[in-house]
Amino acid sequence: MNLYQVLFELIDMRSFSNLWYWIMLAVMWSSASHWVLGVPFDLISRARRQGGALQDDLEVLVRINTARMLDIAQTAGVWLVAFLGFILTTLLVLAVYYKIEFAQAVLFLLVPMIIVSLLSLRTSRLIKAGEHQGDALHRRLIRHRIATQAIGVLSIFVTSMFGMYVNLYTGALG
């Protein structure tokens, strides 16, 4: 058996039947849910309960991350939208017209994360507009986390349904 065969057996290109794809999906949503605008959720919880220096740390981290996110959107937003439009169009053509399973799987990862990124940008704008300290900041960050979790649950459900359909349609042996 040569190296090429070993690699393709280890990295199965049939994404929806590959355990690594499902592990990556779970890790991706777990990380997206834990890191709220780049701030770990345990810091948000502890700052909400204890206040003081933890609250100051939270506000500084949120201020840094929201300013960074808004600056990137301001300076490179048009280029990012153009690049994402190209990538999404290419993936859609490969996934829908050519029925390439790998492109379908990447779309099921990418599209919900784009929605979460847009939600993060909106939340950053709201925080900069006035919800940048105290209870208002806590509420905004928790709402953002709940929305991210809801998008994640819906995404995992839709991905698993489509993955089961593809696996049943394709069959066990391809």
Residues 18-53 pLDDT 10s: 888 999 999 999 999 999 999 999 999 999 999 899
What's the confidence (pLDDT) of residue 58?
A: 96
Rounded to whole angstroms, the Cα distance separating 162 from 167 reads: 9
Residues 85-135 pLDDT 10s: 999 999 999 999 999 999 999 999 999 999 999 999 999 999 999 878 889
Determine the average pLDDT of the residues in 72-82: 96
What's the confidence (pLDDT) of residue 104?
A: 96
Residues 138-156 pLDDT 10s: 999 999 999 999 999 999 9
